[in-house]
Structure 1
Amino acid sequence: MSAGFAKFRDPLMKLGEKFAQNKTLQILRDAFMLAFPLTIFGSITLVIANFPFLDKILGEQGAATLNALLGPASTATMSIATVFTVLGIGYYFSKDRKCDPIFGAAISLAAFIMITPMEVEHVLEDGTAVMVGSVLAIDRLGARGMFVGMLAAFLAAFLYCWITKKNWTIKMPASVPPAVSKSFSALIPACLTLTVFLAVRIGFTFTPWGNIHDFIYELMQAPLTSLGSSLIATLLAIFSIQILWFFGLHGQIIVNSVLDPIWNTLTMENLMAFQAGEALPNIVTKQFIEIFTVGIGGSGMTLAAVIILAFFCRSRQLKQVGRLALPAACFNINEPIIFGLPIVLNPTILIPWILAPVINVCIVYFAMATGLVPLTTGVTVPWTTPIFLSGMLATNSWQGGVIQLVELAVVFVCWLPFLKALDRTALQSDIQEEDDSVFDLGDE
């Protein structure tokens, strides 16, 4: 391997390893996964309630009734995703710091609620706007409150663990039941932590924003989500994922751990608009990244490459790799080809490995921007869902499945000449091995 290549590789691998080993990013990743089974349930009910042509099958009244019956399922799961993220951060942060994780999660949630506005504006029939107290707005528990929730959860868990480590706790005799003893141990840390958040809430009432939610959203969340939803930022993310994978690092985990808060927020905005029957605001979402990149055979969209190996290559080695990898590739699991071809540190296929995803992201982005393909609705579709079906579910339309087939064709065209070149080299090796085998038998 050339010295120049090593100079490029080594710093990148060190940077990737630092991201992968970063405790904060690991905690954030695990916290998002806490909500996964809940959002899947909410997504299923949302898909059923908004199934295409449902009004033709059940009638408008029947479709409206079904929507009303199933609506609370998505509201109680997907629309309050920030609540689950807060609980997850509090739990995993406290667990990492060797503190009681249950109390860490509970204190983090209470801290988040403490700084969340508890009133909403309601417009009466005559057009008069009145403020209704003792009410939590759903959007504050979902997309709009995501960044506040993450910051509050990390700070609350940190304060709880820091105070606990200082031994500012109430010690109970050994004869006291463990549940009671733990409650008293958490009493002082909880009171001090929540006092800090109460002071924050009171302090922001004297600012032009009135609360920390609007302050964070205006100064941080809105600009970051706007940046993260751009095509340039998305292409940089995809390029980084591919480069990291090329050097043997799990690019998806590393890049997603940084950008998931932005992508998830964009997803929640689309979901809320979809539930309200409004125009979807964002092209780039978590589902855009997963369904229209990973959903074409795994990272690097390698399903078409596996098909080429299995059915269009002549060498025994490549054909065997393709056929062994094909069942997993149908469900977007491509480690067999990444390490079996291999793709890692294989300069022969570096160009299609990077080029195909970049081209496809541009194709899907412009197809959605021009209205040829509907935007993703915010419905959570498991990344292992096979091609075409996943595209239909993510966009609630057949066009979503068709654009995935277009992507598959693009990957096929990009990979074919490079894999055929690799196949010719491997075929010569097969012929050489056969000749050597015949020669060895003749000697005997």
Structure 2
Amino acid sequence: MKGFHPWNVSEEATRTHLELFRKRYASLYQVKDTFLPETVVAAYLANMLPGEPIWMIVVGPASSGKTATLDLIRGLDSIHEVSALTEAALLSGTPTKERGAEATGGLLCQIGSFGIILCKDFTTILSSNRDSLLAIVAAFREIHDGHYSRTLGVEGGRTFSWSGKVGFIGAATEVIDSKQDTRQQMGERFIMLRPESDIENSYQIAKRALRSNASDAEGIEELKKLTETLTRFFKMPDSLPDLPQEVADHLASLALIITRARSTTERHNISREIENVPQAEEPARLSKQLRMMFFGYLTIGCTDEEALERVTKLALDSMPLSRKRLLLKLYESNGTPLTRDLAEVLGGASKTAIRHLEDLVAYGLVRRIDIDSNRASWSLTDMAREHLEAVLAPITSLEAIPFSDDQQMESRTAIQITPSSINPPKLIPESRSECREKSRRARAG
């Protein structure tokens, strides 16, 4: 199915280069899915478009391809690579006349009014002591919103300010999930991308690593050239068109579920009992980010159905992985599973499952049913099931997107989302209609 390209480019040429990019990446890195590199390039281009900046982190274990994939956009226009960040590194307070010959006054002075930060090891920043981490996260909050100031010196000192638009694309290990409360306290700005793998795929990657030779370097250079070509196929629009109502509803449902699923309660340090339930994050910012990523995917040549499928996966990845697995297990369940049944998706960790489920209960996504003093079963709330069904079911028709006369658009047809492409098949039923029928029977019973 053809997608649309509102930026006055050759859709056929873009699509051709995207297919070449997919084949070369899959061949070079022995993977079946190119969701990871496509999303990185789409995030880069989404930041170029007018609208909300995209701050995205690729989350995965060591040697999962994070760094190699981020290297594809290294050196592109407006990319500023960093390895460590402090408040002083962002905006220096050193007077101009006292700076060294090569000093820039800080990263933000170097970026100016627009740029994209590339941080291939965000884990190092996350490993900072708590005070330093809180200072960086607070600075990030202001930078994301377009303004940042530092006041230095005594008796009022001097204020150093910056304003502009900055995107952020980085990589981190899953230690980032342990910092969820810190990010939530300061206001979540990041979306997450979690590449999936399995034992067979890991085995093939290990075999490929043993066969690495000089041809790999040539393949990487070719892939970088294809990446650069993909970023040259669009003309900057003055504004973005409105989304069809069906797509807007889809993204709104995603944003509502994800923001509640990634909100965190405050627990006692020793007993781990919930002591406070802060208000859930509102979905407005995330819905804007998902809209920008939808256009980003379209810009690299994805079809409508591919773009919506990828945005859905990206949104689901933006909640902690354990909560994602629990929610999708509940979605596919017939009836009200026991804690031990749900804990299977977390490797049998029942206590961990209970803590995540309690948080999901606190934010209105899950219902707890006590069987006796030692056992409980769980189910999705009607609200959660309604919105999950909305985002996992197909969109069968789309309204035309209004473009100005100089923004041409191809015809659009139905969007279908493939369940297996969103998560491993064991976590989502093969048939959505069957799942909905089971859930209706369970509620009726």
Q: TM-score, normalised by structure 2?
A: 0.23
Bigger proportion of residues as helix: 1
Bigger proportion of residues as strand: 2
Q: RCO greater where, 1 or 2, for CA within 8 Å and sep 6 or more?
A: 2
Q: TM-score, normalised by structure 1?
A: 0.23
Structure showing greater Rg: 1
